[in-house]
Structure 1
Amino acid sequence: MSTIITEFPVSGVTLIRINRPEVRNALNLEVRRELAELFDKMTNDADVRCVVLTGNEKAFAAGADIAEMMDAGTIEMMSRGIHKLLKPIAEFSKPLIAAVNGYALGGGCELAMHADIIIAGENAQFGLPEVRLGVMPGGGGTQRLIRAVGKFKAMKMLLTGDFVSAREANTMGLVSEVVPDADVEGRAIEMASQIASYATLGLAQIKEVITAGQDLSLESALMLERKALQLLFASQDKKEGMRAFLEKRKPVFQGK
């Protein structure tokens, strides 16, 4: 049985499904390597305009595979290079939506936080419970969480290891939207289809500016934004988009 399933629900949208239901989609090295290879490949695939990453109705991913780490030492953990396997996802230039049902815990919560948009089911649960195992998050959990929800909400989750509901996560700013559990995947695909219809160059520049600008001073980030906008005025898609608006028709973007 494949641990990663790739689907193409609508034009321009690729759906990636983590498929280890017997362990609530725990992220072992095999899954991480497959995801890294897949995201690296999709970067240069013009047919991929937006990606949805999901699990199943019970779990997005319930964390790292504890059984795989139980006897690992420092040198082995260093040699696994988990941060290198996350890099193709962290640096993915195209819009990425996480569709979360059930558990998104530990490494699963960290993986979801690599997305640009998180659609959560009403019964989804998020958490970083590594402290209960005597360790701490190591896949970006501390740094991405504090940037998403602020110090005091992040510290509460990290130091207690407690889970938060989808509704609380939404209030905190950890998720983008909460929908009924049965609608999560459909809503994510619907949104991905909408995004995939837009100019890829514009989407890429928005993502790049937000990612790079969040750790810059406001003045520097605003300059980055201006330069990105000016760059887009050289694109054919800019001309097509504005011409279509004036002609009251739907634009046909070519990614040029």
Structure 2
Amino acid sequence: MRSRELDPSASPLDYYGYELRRSREAAGLTLAQLGSIVFCTGSLIGQIETAAKVPQREFSERMDAALGTGGTFSRLVGLVLRSQLPGWFQPYAEMEGRAAYICSFQAQLVDGLLQTENYARAVLGARDGSDLDGRVAARLDRQRTLARKHPPAAWVVLSEGVLHQQVGGREVMREQLGHLLSLQKRKWLEIQVLPFEAGAHTGLMGSFNLLRFESDPDIVYTEDFVQGHMTANPEAVREGSVRYDHLQAAALSVDDSAALIARVMEERYGDQPEPDGRDLA
């Protein structure tokens, strides 16, 4: 049975699949043969060739090595993953990747740049489980911004409520809070927690991000439940900057924030006995 033909101009995912099939066939390899070389199933490769599944970076690197494509698929996969983000979010993701300085205040959820895979899966699947693997992969790929050789300086303020809002279950939350603690070691990333005791604060209107650039105008970004809103309006940026300064001042220090995260992780998400007295794993 012949796999369906793709229109390479339809989307980055279709183009990737088209090029993968073309390169495999040019190498004279069947799906099964290529799968045995890169240690995955021929079925997986076939799904990616027909744009039924979203490729990831490791897969792309293996394809480049096996097919001798000189990094073609490693370059293409970035476009593919970016295309999995909501259309209204893609312009922001592009600007985020270029920013020299990222400031984020999150009132309800861990910032997407700091989320674990399981936490991201729970967040993105809360209402819609379609294409979940691709959407999760796209969110995690954004995190490469903070992991590159010369990352932007990033400062994240999380409301204490973020630590207590159980997303995905106790094990997912324990993993997520542990991940936040591990990120404290990064030179260009600072994480603060805004405690409940701060009372009324300048972030009560909701989450927002500020992006600063070497030569472009600064940007403030907000979201509602429908879409995101990005503006370089000087008054909006000035207001956002002042609000963020107040949030940083009201938040716990970086060290005290880490101590609070660790305490919530153990007290709220640590091992607890079940009703029959047995310990939970």
* TM-score, normalisation: structure 1: 0.25
- Higher radius of gyration, 1 or 2: 2
